[in-house]
Chains A and B, each alone.
Chain A
Amino acid sequence: MANKVLLIEDDDATAEFVARGLTEEGFVVDRAANGRDGLFHATDGSYDCIVLDRMLPGIDGMGVLAAVRAAGIETPVIVLSALGAADDRIHGLTHGADDYLTKPFAFVELLARIRLLIRRGGATKAVETVLRCGDLEMDLLARRTRRAGKAIDLQPREFRLLEFMLRHVDQVVTRTMLLEGVWDYHFDPGTNVIDVHLSRLRKKVDEGFDRPLLHTVRGAGYRLGLEP
């Protein structure tokens, strides 16, 4: 059963590439070119995720979002925006958006976030106190991390970084997602700040083990998982 995505985007070129990319990744994509059609499609309620452009002809995407939520539709929504100041992001997230991505975005970034939302929107899991990936396990209550029974000593920030990766096992996590999820910042920190933190974490998690768990995904970000 393929996941269905509704794309509400007025820019034909962007819409076409995004739709084609998502189709290749196995999604079923419907596209609406304006807010009214978007709202009409959205009220079907049969979508797993809605990708909504904030600047639509004649209407602010936030208005469409408000109407969608007013119609009682709980489908996760990612807002695409060219406004892109941190303020607009905050505004979007406090007005019913589940995630917020500014143009220009990398397709992998959008893909990673859609997958994340669809999984989150699925069956609500019991609150986990232990996160696992292969022989790596993190006890959230005891604040302890072990791999193959051996304790790994992590700094508080490294702990939160690894926790974030463990919550998204086998998913591509982008640098922006890490910056937002672990540091709660939404600006470009300049140099390769995130990469340096990740490479330190990798040293602690993977060094001395045959099987690396923390993988770099070229042009996208990072993935924690058994498969390279």
Chain B
Amino acid sequence: MFRSATFRFAALVFLLQLVSAAALIVTIGIAVRRQLQTDAQRTVAVLRDDLRASYAAGGAAGVRREVALRTGQLVTPGTVLLLVDRDGKRVGGNLDAWPPSVTRDGHAKDVTLYRIGLNTAEPMHVEATRLPGGERLLVGTIVAGEVRAMRMLEQVSGVALPLALIFAALAAWIAARTIVNRLEEPLAALNAVAAGDLGARVPADGSRDALATLGVAINGALERVETLMGELRMATDGLAHDLKSPLTRMRVVLERAAGQVNDPAATESLDRAMAEADRLFALVQTALSITRAEAGIGREHFTAIDLAAELEGIAEMYAPLAEDQGRGLSVTAESIEPVTVHRELLAQALGNIIDNSLKYGAGPIALALTLLEGEVALTIADRGPGIPAARYDDALRRFGRLDDARQGGGAGLGLSLAAAVARLHGGGLVLSDAGPGLIVTITLPLP
């Protein structure tokens, strides 16, 4: 995601560099060509106007004289002149014959012709004009230098374009490198926070550019997150305290009352009230445990334990209950290196899942520990009715009850606690179908 974004940015820089270099070369080419053409046209126009003026002053003879003069010793270098009479016969000038490609009068053209006395054809810009007496005059100027200049420009462009390509690639690479390097620290800080280290921040680099400003903004947001987490922790603890003190008093009152009455019916009512108080308490406790686990609280209590032994221990704890229901409880565990976990919470998560199966599942319960690529999978599978795939989300939701009429006494927190515990470890919890039955898989990442 980030990589492709960087790549796109680099590609954009590359393209822009290339386009701007190409645009520069093309623009220079066009401007130079324009300028050269304008110069040639102006030279020709001045020459034409001079000759027409000499016609006006001295008639056909005046023009002949002028043509002879300008193609003789008083040479303007690069002048091309040809004067023909009404029948098209050559009268004077430095061209042999009228070029057949130039027909219309007042029409300018670029042609390549031999001037008299020269043995190379030269590129020239010529214009035909008809004199008042019916004679035709071809006026022109040699543009060899201009053509050379244009060819030179083309050659230079041919060299400049590969150079521009190299510089564009270099600029793109530098831009991408800059972005990646400057984004590395904000990314590292954000990843650390996501992984639970709420104190991580983007180090200030002293520059005052947009990325530094971004770093400051990210730090502000992280600061807020940390503050909120602290407040959440205080709030949950406060809530726990506020709820538990009245509950404690209630329990104490009920206990004392139970000790003072001798009426069996009253005793039974008091026992029931106490059991309800305990259930309410357990519910509050579990809800708080989920909140704390979701908030990443408890990572400081992770210890390295033998997961296989822990799984055996949990199985052993619930085995008599399974046996009383006539159901088996088996453990298949690969022996692996100790894994760093929150033993207490993980045991509670596994206990909740087994407890769920004992209440709502059927058939043998199979616990398994499997070592996968970079993670450990703990699976709890039974052969009961399972859960329809469409209801997996409901099953994992807090207080999510799959069967509103069910007489379980649970509040639907077991699976959501297990999922929260899995997430606290940086892993996850997935439900799947054993056909028939339910498979609950907790994955824990290995360092």
Contacts and interface: CB of A to CB of B under 8 A. Distances in A.
Interface of A: 11, 13-14, 17-18, 20-21, 55, 82-87, 90, 102-108, 157, 183, 185-193, 196-197, 200, 219
17 contacts: A11-B245, A17-B252, A83-B237, A84-B244, A86-B344, A86-B345, A104-B249, A104-B251, A105-B251, A108-B255, A183-B313, A185-B347, A189-B317, A192-B321, A196-B320, A197-B320, A200-B320
Given A82-B241, A103-B247, A108-B255, A187 B348 contact: yes
A81 to B, nearest CB: 9
B355 A17 contact: no
B381 interface: no
B370 interface: no
A106 B251 contact: yes
A190 B255 contact: no
Contacts of B410: 190
B149 interface: no
What does DSSP make chain B's interface, helix, strand, loop or mixed?
A: helix
A11 B247 CA distance: 12
Contact of A219 (B255, B298, B317): B255
A84 B248 contact: no
Contacts of A200: 320
B248 A105 contact: yes
Interface of B: 237, 240-241, 243-245, 247-253, 255-256, 258, 271, 274, 277-278, 281-282, 285, 288-289, 292, 297-298, 300-301, 313, 316-318, 320-321, 324, 344-345, 347-348, 351-352, 355, 358-359, 410, 414
A211 B106 CA distance: 139
Contacts, number: 112
A55 B313 CA distance: 34
A108 to B, nearest CB: 7
Nearest to A91: B301
Contacts of A188: 282, 285
Contacts of A84: 240, 244, 285, 288
A189 B355 contact: yes
B421 to A, nearest CB: 11
A188 B414 CA distance: 11
A104 B281 contact: yes
- Across the A-B interface, give the 6 residue pairs with the lowest CB-CB distance, nearest first: A104-B248, A190-B355, A82-B244, A104-B247, A103-B244, A82-B241
A190 B252 CA distance: 22
A192 B325 CA distance: 13
B244 A183 contact: no
